[in-house]
Structure 1
C-alpha cells in the first residue's frame, strides 16, 4: 500500500477538488510522496514543520537539483503537482523563488540540448498550418463545425445577444492574456480568459458550453441579421455565435464573436484556434488536459477557472490573490 499523504495534500488531490482525472491525480500523489521522502532524508527539519508550513522555494530548488536527471515529462509533472497543492492551499508559489527559477531554467536548457525522443503530438495534425489556425482560424471554423453530427438548426434572431469585443478589456485584463503559442494549454486558456473577460457569464455557463452550441453564420436557420446593415463590411467568414443555456436548459443568450484586428485579444480567433488545434468535434468546449498536454473528455470544472486566472495573473506579475473570475469579468 502506498504511504498515506498528510490530510491537506490528500484532500487537494481528489477529483472532488479539481478537474484532473484519477490517473493524473495518482501521478501527482506519487510526486508528493517522492517530495516528502526526499525531505525526510535531505531536510528533516523542514519536514517537521509540515503540513503547517509547505517547503519554501529554496528547499524546492534543492529537490529539483537532486531530481534533475529525471525525464522532462516527469519533472514537468512534479512541478505541476507541487504548484497545484501550493495554489489550492493559498501558499506562495515555490517556483516564483529566484533560485527555483534559476534551477528550473538550467534544467530546461539541459533537456533541450539532449536528443529528443518520439512523443505524442500535443496539437492535432491538420491540413492548415498552425500559424494559419492561430491567425486565420475563423476562416476554417465553418467547415470544421459542419462535421458535427446531430447539431440542431436554430433561429437565433430572438435571443438576447452579447457582442464579444476586445474593446471591453482593460489594460489590467490584457496583461492576463498570454501570447498565442503552439501549446494546447495556452490556446485553451487564451480562449477561456478572453471569453470570461468579454462576456457576462457565470462560471457554470462558461464550462457548460458544448461544441454543439457553437454556430457558424450559415447554420442560424435564416437569420435576417445577415442581410441587415450591420452585416455590411464583415469579413468573409462572418461572426460565430455561441448559444448559452440557463440551469433549466433553456437558451438564454447568444454570444456573437466577430474577428478583431488585434490577434492577441481577439475572442473569435482565440476560440477558433483552440477548437481547430485540439480538433474538437463534440462534447465540452473547455476540457481538462493531462500533465503531458493531451486532451481528455472531461469537462473543465467551474472552480478551475479561478485556478487558471490566478496562474496567469502570477505569470503576468500581478497579485494572484486579487484576481478571480469575478474580478476578470467586472474589471471593465
Structure 2
C-alpha cells in the first residue's frame, strides 16, 4: 500500500472507488463520498496527511497502516519542534480519517498513542490565540475608511462607485452584526436573504456546527438607525452598484471595477479585515495579523455583552450551542464588570 491513496481521495472524488474497496463506485456514489466531509476539512486532511507521509518516508515507517510507535514518535517530534496542540490534534484526525477510508483499525486509539498524546496535552497545552475584537467605535472608523468612489487616471473617465470598497463595507458590517464565520459569509447567496419589516433574515443551510444542514439556521440583520452604520443599507448599496440579483453575495472585483461571478474565498475575508484596519489607522501592517475575519464575530460577542445582552441572547445570534463557549469570547476588560473585588475598599 502506498501513502498516495488517501491523499488522492482528498483531491478528487474519482479516486474514492479505489480507496473504499475493490468494487468500483458509481459516479453518484463517489460524489456522495466526497460530500461526506466539508471541502475545507478535506483540504486540511490532504495537507496533514502529506506531511505525515513525508515524515514516515524520512524515518522508515509505513504510513498506512501506521504503527502505534510511528504515530507516538511523530507526535513527540512535533511537540519537540514547538507545534501547537491544535495542530497536532488536526494531524491525528487526518491519520484517523485515512485509516477509516481503508476500513483499517484506528491506530490513534492505541494505548501507547493515547498515553503520549495525553502527556503532550498536559505539558504543552496553552490558551488558544484569540483575534482582536473589532467593534465600535473602532468599527465605525474602519467602515468610514472604506472607499466609496472610484477615480481613474484615464482622462475624461467619469467617477464610479468603488465596488471593492462598497463590498468590503457590506462584508464587514454583515460579518459583525450577523456574527458570521468567514466560511458562512463567503458561502452566502442572494437567495439566502429574506426581507423583513425590521431588516433582513439570513437563512444558513449549513454551518460549522450544522454541516449536514439538518436544520436551517436563521440569523437576523436588523436595520440600523443611521444609514452609514446600517448593515441592510450597506448590503443593498453593494448589490445595486455591482448589479447582483442572484448567485454569490460577496464576489471578487476586477481591476476594472467590475463584479465577477467568482465568490470570495474564506481566506480573502482575513485579507479584507486586515487591510481595512490598516487603512483606518488602527494598526500598521506589521500588527495587522492580530486581526482576522474572526475579529468580527468576537467583536459582536464582546460589544453585545458590554451593551447588556445576556449570554443566551448572544448565543441566539451566534448559534453557539454552549453558553460556556460564548463566555470564552468575553475579553479581559469585561472581567471588572459586576465584580465583588472592586467593592473591598482596600
Give the TM-score normalised by structure 1: 0.41
| Structure with max Cα Rg | 2
